[in-house]
Amino acid sequence: MAKKKSNQRSGKARGFQPARSVTAPKPPEDDESTADTSEATAAADTASKKTDDKATDAKKTDAKKSDAKKADGKKSDAKKDSAAESDSGTKAKDKAKDEKSSAKAKDEKPKKTDAKSASTKPKGGKGPKGRETTGKAGGTNAKRPAGKSNAKKRKVAAPKKPLPWGMISVVTGLVVVVAALIAIPIFTLPEAPPDPDEPIDGVTDYYADGAPWVEESAHVDGRVEYALAPPAGGNHNVAWSTCNGVVYDQPIPNEHAVHSLEHGAIWFTYSPDLPQTEIDKLAGKVNGIDYTLMSPYAGQDSPIILTAWGYQLKIDSADDERITAFTSKYRLTASREPGATCSGGTPITGDTPMMGAPGMEG
């Protein structure tokens, strides 16, 4: 007893713990109890496996949901991008339509509008009865991006200034006058003269024929007997018939007319029975043309005869183009006294020449 107490004390002093109690082993169960235990263990394992399978399926389901959320997020981003592009396109269309409307307003005449209502009435928003209206792009206010007003103020086209019709009329009139002043000289220019070296069909050249009287040009009194009717040269009266485009309605003395030929004039003579229309046409080619004169001549053998000193042309009509050619070629150039005048002559008519003409030597 004394020894045990000593050992106990010694154990406490060394820090030993009291010994654990030992459970006595159960006696072995019979086979039936063992089978039940095995079944219970298998059932527990099956339940545990099902639980694990359910947990695995739940994880897969969560993963699928997560993937679906990511796909939805991508679709949402794509929709946002598409909406942004659509909104940008809508703005561009609005801007283009506004510019087109503004250009159209400039071309059209200004219309009377209520400036106040035009400047305050929005293009979109609520209408008078609460109806939702759309803007130019065709969308509603709800479809506009947040923070941006859908109602754009209508641009009122400034009224066009009236055209200065008075000034336009004055300028137009001046242009017409200037154009007329330029055009008149152009359209009234005489036709280009024919080539003087080109022969004219039907002209008789008495120089070439060797007629002696073409070289005779003395001043004489009284009547002169001429070889031609009308004469184309020879001795003549001291006075010349005025030949600065004068149309005589009566015959004139041969002696005065030949003196006019000497100065370089063309003498137009016509048969008294020529139709008046032909006489008028012929007069239009003489009247006012210097170094020309015209008179009727009884007994000539052609309806119309044109005579220069030493040359003669017989024609049937006042429309004959050779009239212009003959006048252009022989007027002045056939003169026997170059530079002599056709003004200041005698206007005498009839068949009797003047007797003497003081101061008319030439």
pLDDT tens sequence across 124-179: 444 444 454 444 444 444 455 554 455 455 666 666 777 777 788 888 888 888 88
- Domain boundary residue, one of 93, 127, 156: 156
**Given this model, what pLDDT does residue 47 score?**
64
Q: Are residues 222 and 148 in the same domain?
A: no
| pLDDT for the residue 111 | 46
Task: Give the residue with greater pLDDT, 108 vs 202.
Answer: 202
Residue 129: its pLDDT value, please?
Answer: 47
Q: In terms of domains, do 240 and 321 share one?
A: yes
Which residues are CB-neighbours of 70 under 8 A, at least 6 positions away? Answer: none
pLDDT of residue 164: 76
User: In this predicted model, which residue has the larger pLDDT, 274 or 27?
Assistant: 274
The token pair that represents 29 in the structure block: 């169960």
Residues 119 and 234 occupy one common structural domain: no
Taking alpha carbons only, the member of 233, 240, 256, 248 closest to residue 351 is 256
Q: Comparing 9-23, 69-83, 146-160, 305-319, which segment has the lowest mean pLDDT?
A: 9-23
- Looking up residue 266, the CATH number of its domain turns out to be 3.40.30
Percent of the chain with pLDDT over 70: 50
Which tokens in the block code for residue 207? 């120089």
Look at residue 275 in the predicted model and tell me its pLDDT: 97
> Is 25 among the domain residues?
no
Provide the whole-model pTM: 0.49
Domain presence at residue 196: no
At 231 the pLDDT is 97
Residue with tokens 């030992």: 22
**What per-residue confidence (pLDDT) applies to 264?**
97
| Residue 208 confidence (pLDDT) above 50 | yes
Q: Which residue, of 138, 156, 174, is where some domain finishes?
A: 156
pLDDT for res 313: 98
Q: Is residue 43 part of a domain?
A: no
Q: What is the pLDDT of residues 257-267, one digit of tens each?
A: 999 999 999 99
Q: Are residues 310 and 220 in the same domain?
A: yes
Backbone region of residue 172 per phi and psi (left: phi > 0; alpha: psi in -120 to 50; beta: other values): alpha
For the stretch 23-47, pLDDT in tens is 444 544 444 445 555 665 666 666 6
Task: Please say whether the beta carbons of 217 and 264 come within 8 A.
Answer: no
Tokens 């485009």, residue located: 245
How does residue 250 score in pLDDT terms, banded at 50, 70 and 90?
very high
> What integer pLDDT is reported at residue 235 of this predicted model?
97
Assess whether pLDDT exceeds 80 at residue 357: no
Residue 360 domain-assigned (yes or no): no
Looking at the fold, whether 107 and 207 belong to one and the same domain comes out as no
Q: According to the model, what pLDDT value does residue 169 have?
A: 81
Task: Output the pLDDT for position 118.
Answer: 44
| Position 122 in a domain | yes
Q: What is the DSSP string of 98-152?
A: HHHHHHHHHHSPPPP--HHHHHH--SSEE-TTS-EEB-TTS-BGGGSPTTS-S-P
Residues 143 and 63 in one domain: yes
Beta-strand ranges (E) seen in the chain are 125-126, 132-133, 203-205, 244-247, 266-270, 292-296, 304-308, 311-315
Residue 19 lies in a domain: no
Domain span holding position 104? 52-156
pLDDT (mean) for 14-30 = 48
Residues 248 and 148 in one domain: no
Q: Please name the helix (run of DSSP H) or strand (run of DSSP E) that holds residue 42, with its range, or none.
A: helix 31-107
Asked, for residue 34, whether it belongs to a domain, the answer is no
pLDDT average, residue stretch 9-26: 47
- The rounded distance, in Å, linking the Cα atoms of 51 and 58 is 10
Question: Mean pLDDT over all residues of the chain?
Answer: 75
164 in any annotated domain: no
Above 60 in pLDDT, residue 109?
Answer: no
Greater confidence (74 vs 297) lies with 297
pLDDT of residue 13: 42
216 and 149, same structural domain? no
Least confidently predicted of 157-166, 236-245, 294-303, 327-336? 157-166
Residue 214 and residue 317 share a domain? yes
Average pLDDT (215-227) is: 95
Q: Tell me: do 216 and 317 sit in the same domain.
A: yes
Same domain, 318 and 217: yes
User: Number of structural domains, the chain?
Assistant: 2
Of 83-92, 141-150, 198-207, 218-227, the range with the lowest mean pLDDT is 141-150
Query: What's the pLDDT score for residue 167?
Result: 80
* Domain co-membership, 326 together with 231: yes
